[in-house]
């Protein structure tokens, strides 16, 4: 492609990372609140799984088309700003929803906002980062997301405190309004990115047809990278959705659940910050295989009935560190495997696979949870992680 990295420095990247921190703080403030609000309106484990699956439903339909758009659009930073606005709107809709259907629809809007943010941000890195810096830049990108994943549950836990029963409805409404405000602030750091050099394409590039999806899937290593990404992301989703139920059955308050989820996110943040150091010592394959297999073991330990707060905290620290590695590694792998002019489409295909997993896996996990209880959902996710480890190896 005719475009190249705009300059040797990374000032544009810092603006993007600032927006990512804000939008992911809002998103991860919202995600546990969806479970608690579902409980507040009378939902059970099955309905939590279905509302969680609704989050990924519409993004599943539009992800690849959106990625192809980013490959051809001269400027794409505005898409990330639009995602922040849609995410804020979804948070406000959740605050106004008092039934399961409304919660599912609002959860879908939140998913669309997150999709816009993610597709645009990853396409910006693929377009403007140098190839030798991809692991580092995607590591920083996912580290910024982890910082939001750390802050969001802490804020939601503090706002909910010990609320239960009827109190959950008003407490979640307040927290969701705050989430909407934080998401809207994510537009501000993106303003300087409007000065990024627009994409310039030659006449041959403009005339070239888009690379078919089936050709992207046939590239060696691509299916494994997509499946690993799906397994890791859905594992975090299942953990976020079902940990409140598991914790409630063990007498742990929403505040302690927020602490546990933040410990997991903090460990993922640390692993992503140290990723450049690890990549100098081990290959992507070794890191991906190890992280997925040991993360599966961590989910099994969380599902065991004997663990109290201290045990869960220790397990989530280790599991969170390993769960954090796979996303930046698969982003870099998909980018390097894709041909020029199709990197946005390939990254969007990865997100499409993630969203497919976020629809199918929580729905299947809801069935398992309905039959054997919330721990069964974690065991189901652990089995998917083990399958991904085998595929990656």
Q: What whole-number distance in Å separates Cα of residue 116 and Cα of residue 73?
A: 14
Q: What whole-number distance in Å separates Cα of residue 200 and Cα of residue 170?
A: 51
pTM (2 decimals)? 0.78
* CA-only gyration radius of the chain, Å: 20
**Burial of residue 238 (number of CB atoms within 10 Å: 0-12, 13-18, 19+):** buried
- The topology (CATH level 3) of 11-192+215-392 is Growth Hormone; Chain: A; (1.20.1250)
Residue 358, both tokens: 């976020």
- Half-sphere exposure of residue 62, counting CA atoms within 13 Å on the CB side? 17
Per-residue pLDDT of the chain (393 residues; tens, 9 = 90+): 434 444 445 788 999 999 999 999 999 898 888 888 888 888 777 788 788 778 877 887 888 888 888 888 888 899 999 999 999 999 999 998 878 888 989 999 999 999 999 999 999 998 888 877 888 889 899 889 888 877 888 888 788 877 666 777 888 888 899 999 999 999 999 998 988 887 665 545 554 566 777 888 888 888 888 999 999 988 988 888 888 888 888 888 888 888 888 888 889 889 988 988 898 888 888 898 998 999 999 999 998 887 788 889 999 999 999 888 888 998 888 888 888 778 888 888 888 888 788 778 888 888 888 887 788 889 999 999 999 999 887
Sign, CA dihedral 375-380-154-356, equals: negative
DSSP code, position 190: G
Q: Which of 262, 264, 258 is nearest to 301 (CA)?
A: 264
Q: What Cα–Cα distance (Å) separates residue 9 from each residue in 5, 6, 193, 306?
A: 9, 8, 14, 51
Question: Which residue is listed with tokens 């990404």?
Answer: 229
Q: Which of 152, 140, 189 is nearest to 16 (CA)?
A: 189
SS (H, E, C) 98-140: CCHHHHHHHHHHHHHHHHHHHHHHHHHHHHHCCHHHHHHHHHH
Question: Which residue is listed with tokens 């000065």?
Answer: 195
Pair 22, 84: CB distance under 8 Å: yes
pLDDT of residue 185: 96
pLDDT of residue 209: 60
């Amino acid at each position: 492609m005719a475009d190249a990295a705009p300059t040797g420095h990374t000032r544009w990247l810092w603006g993007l990372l600032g927006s990512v921190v804000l939008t992911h703080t809002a998103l991860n403030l919202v995600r546990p609140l969806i479970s608690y609000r579902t409980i507040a309106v009378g939902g059970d484990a099955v309905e939590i799984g279905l509302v969680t699956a609704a989050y990924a439903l519409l993004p599943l339909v539009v992800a690849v088309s959106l990625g192809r758009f980013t490959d051809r659009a001269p400027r794409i930073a505005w898409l990330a700003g639009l995602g922040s606005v849609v995410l804020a709107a979804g948070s406000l809709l959740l605050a106004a929803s008092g039934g399961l259907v409304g919660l599912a629809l609002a959860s879908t809007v939140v998913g669309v906002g997150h999709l816009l943010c993610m597709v645009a941000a990853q396409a910006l890195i693929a377009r403007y980062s140098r190839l030798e810096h991809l692991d580092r830049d995607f590591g920083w990108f996912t580290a910024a997301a982890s910082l939001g994943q750390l802050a969001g549950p802490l804020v939601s836990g503090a706002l909910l405190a010990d609320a239960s029963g009827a109190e959950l409805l008003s407490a979640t409404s307040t927290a969701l309004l705050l989430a909407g405000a934080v998401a809207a602030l994510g537009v501000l750091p993106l303003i300087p990115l409007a000065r990024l050099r627009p994409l310039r394409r030659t006449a041959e590039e403009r005339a070239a047809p888009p690379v078919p999806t089936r050709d992207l899937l046939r590239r060696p290593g691509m299916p494994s990278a997509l499946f690993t990404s799906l397994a890791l992301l859905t594992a975090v989703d299942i953990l976020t959705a079902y940990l409140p139920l598991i914790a409630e059955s063990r007498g742990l308050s929403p505040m302690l659940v927020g602490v546990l989820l933040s410990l997991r996110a903090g460990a993922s943040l640390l692993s992503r910050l140290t990723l450049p150091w690890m990549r100098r010592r081990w290959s992507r394959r070794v890191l991906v295989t190890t992280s997925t297999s040991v993360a599966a073991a961590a989910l099994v330990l969380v599902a065991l009935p004997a663990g109290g707060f201290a045990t869960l905290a220790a397990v989530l620290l280790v599991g969170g560190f390993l769960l954090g590695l796979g996303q930046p590694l698969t982003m870099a792998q998909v980018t390097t495997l894709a041909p020029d002019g199709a990197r946005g489409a390939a990254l969007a295909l990865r997100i499409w696979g993630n969203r497919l997993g976020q629809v199918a896996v929580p729905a299947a996990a809801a069935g398992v949870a309905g039959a054997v209880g919330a721990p069964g959902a974690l065991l189901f996710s652990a089995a998917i992680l083990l399958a991904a480890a085998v595929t990656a190896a």
